[in-house]
Amino acid sequence: MAEIDSSGGGKKGGGKKRSKKMSTKIDMTPMVDLGFLLITFFMLTTTLAKPVTMQLNMPDKTDTKETSPVKLSETLTVIPDEFKVYYYQGIPTEAGTKLEVTDYSDTGIRKVIADLKKKIGNNFTLVIKPTKKAKYRNMVDMLDECAITNNKRYALLAIDPASEDLIKRSGK
Q: Which stretch binds another protein (CB under 8 A): 5-13, 92-100, 127-135, 160-168?
A: 127-135
Interacting span for another protein (CB under 8 A) from 9-17, 40-48, 88-96, 113-121: 40-48
CA dist., res. 83 & res. 15, Å (int): 93
The yes or no reply on residue 137 touching another protein (CB under 8 A) is: yes
Taking residue 88's Cβ as centre, other Cβ atoms within 10 Å add up to 22
Q: Would you give the distance in Å from CA 82 to the centre of its chain?
A: 18
Q: Report in angstroms how near the CB of residue 151 gets to another protein at its nearest.
A: 13
**42 scored as a contact of another protein (CB under 8 A):** yes
| Distances from the Cα of 129 to the Cα of 69, 101, 112, 118, 138, angstroms | 19, 14, 16, 22, 11
Cβ–Cβ under 8 Å, residues 104 and 130: no
Residue 32 sits in the site that holds another protein (CB under 8 A): yes
Cβ distance to another protein smaller for residue 134 or 167: 134
| Residue 44 binds to another protein (criterion: CB under 8 A) | no
Smallest gap from Cβ 138 to another protein, in A, equals 7
Q: Does 22 bind another protein (CB under 8 A)?
A: no
* DSSP bridge partners of 128: 78, 156
Residues 6+ apart with CB under 8 A from 105: none
Applying CB under 8 A, does 151 fall inside the site for another protein?
Answer: no
Using left for φ > 0, alpha for ψ between -120 and 50, and beta otherwise, residue 2 falls in beta
Among 2, 44, 52, 95, binds another protein (CB under 8 A): 52
Which residues form the interface with another protein (CB under 8 A)?
A: 25, 27-29, 31-32, 35-36, 38-39, 42-43, 46, 49-62, 106, 130-141, 143-144, 147-148, 156, 158
